[in-house]
Amino acid sequence: MIRRLGCGAVTLAFLLLTLVLVAAVAATQLKPQSAAPPIEAVGEVSGIPERMLAAYQNAANRLPEEVPACQGMRWPILAGIARIESHHATGRTISPAGDITPHILGPRLDGSGAGGNITAFPDTDNGRFDGDTAYERAVGPFQFLPSTWNGSGRDANDDRISDPHNADDAALGAAVYLCGKGRNLTDRDQLKAAIFQYNHSNAYVADVLGWIDRYSQLATGTIPIGQRPTGTARTVIEAALAQEGTPYSWGGGNANGPSTGICCSPSGKSGTRIRGFDCSGLALYAYAQVGINLPRTAAAQAGEGRRIPASAGVGALKPGDLVFFAYNPANDSTIHHVGIYLGNGQMINAPRPGTNVRTEALWDDGFAGGTRLL
């Protein structure tokens, strides 16, 4: 049976329907907009996850909107800070939207001395960012105190939320904080002052500046490429490039080309059944093509020719130079890897067991300078 509604009932039903529709529209308007398309990095830098690099680049590009008077903000500055604070969120998962899990939390700042803290910082965010309702903890890849984030935090991925645990938001917040009211970060003294404000430690400032300089040299277009390699340098590079795709073999490679290797690498990998190159074998082969006989190991090869210290930076290298990596870059006896520099921050090398000879960006960890033989 169909029950007919009276005129008053129809009016009431219409009003209720209208209220529901208005509420739905309001809810839609109040709901945070969907996040913008994932931010992508321009280029790549060895040692920095691509998604973190994208966050640094995005923050540097957006900074003028936040602090128009600031000059000289560049992504290597942000990368230098994040390298010291969280090693670029290493070991965490970074979503396309920039969210980092699990969260990066510093020690509880209760003045107990744990983690080096001797001054108590009472809670300011009721545990919203750090999960601690009694004391503060530094949070996110840039290790903001919640109290500092309240003033510098920004929404950089357009989801209407300022979150220090989001790579994009944290990077832009750090850029804002470093710029202050409008520093000129192209001035070395003002850059030092900005970093010192971030952490009142001269040793910290020196460490960050070192990474900023290195990343600046590795950034696209900032390393002097020079002329195309000619003569012996070109011969060495072409000989090495011709071996791209050749398998890595521990102890493999000699002046005549790839060869079966020996047993065994520090990780227990044997080269006895693999015909190919290890890192020093590739260098030995390439230089043999121009009549230069190199020692067999990377550490011994570092003693040949004119040494280029790591402190000189990547910009001091020329195509054809050998480049070295060490467990302790200040001690040549700890050198464990060698590549051949191609220019523009790239090298060709035999990286490790299970890989092939390939071209890639210079590694940032353990960079121990180079050697010029040509």
Q: Is 94 a domain residue?
A: yes
Nearest to 75 by CA among 175, 207, 191, 204: 175
Number of domains observed in the structure of the chain: 3
**Which of 166, 183, 218 is the endpoint of a domain?**
218
Residues 120 and 58 in one domain: no
Instruction: Judge if 197 and 69 occupy the same domain.
Output: yes
**Rounded-to-integer distance, Cα 303 and Cα 368, Å:** 12
CATH code, domain with 343: 3.90.1720.10
For residue 21, being part of any structural domain is answered with no
- C-alpha span between 143 and 78 (Å, rounded): 12
Q: Based on the fold, state whether residues 172 and 116 are members of the same structural domain.
A: no
- 147 and 64 share one domain: yes
- Pair 57, 181 in one domain: yes
Residues 84, 114, single domain; the answer is no
Q: Give 18-49 pLDDT, tens digit per residue.
A: 444 444 434 333 334 444 567 877 666 767 89
Q: Residue 99 pLDDT > 60, yes or no?
A: yes
Tokens of 95: 């979503």
Q: Does any domain span residue 341? A: yes
Place of tokens 């409008």: 182
Which pLDDT belongs to residue 364?
79
Quote the domain boundaries for residue 258. Answer: 231-372
The verdict on residue 150 lying in a domain is yes
Task: Say which residue, 19 or 76, is predicted with more confidence.
Answer: 76
Helix axes 231-241, 279-288, angle to 10 degrees: 140
Q: What pLDDT was estimated at residue 219?
A: 57
CA distance 242 to 259: 15
144-186 confidence digits (pLDDT tens)? 999 999 999 999 998 999 999 999 999 999 999 999 999 999 9
Percent of the chain with pLDDT strictly greater than 70: 85
Q: Give the ranges where the chain is alpha helix by DSSP (H).
A: 7-30, 50-66, 75-86, 146-152, 167-179, 188-198, 202-218, 231-241, 279-288, 298-301
Tokens of 165: 């645990």
| 235 in the same domain as 152 | no
Q: Specify whether 161 is located in the same domain as 242.
A: no
Q: Which two tokens stand for residue 145?
A: 């105190």
One domain, residues 207 and 58: yes
Q: How far apart are CA 349 and CA 46, in angstroms?
A: 14
Give a yes or no: residue 19 inside a domain.
no
Provide the pLDDT for residue 314.
83
Residues 79, 194, single domain; the answer is yes
Say if 299 falls within a structural domain: yes
Domain assignment present for residue 16? The answer is no
What integer is the mean pLDDT of 61-88? Answer: 95
Residue 35 lies in a domain: no
Contact yes or no for 118/111 (Cβ under 8 A): yes
Q: Give yes or no: residues 126 and 273 share one domain.
A: no
CATH number at residue 175: 1.10.530
Model pLDDT for residues 286-334, shown as the tens digit of each residue: 999 999 999 999 999 999 999 999 888 887 889 999 999 999 998 999 9
What's the angle, vertex CA 201, arms to CA 198 and CA 206, rounded to 5?
90
Residues 152 and 122 in one domain: no
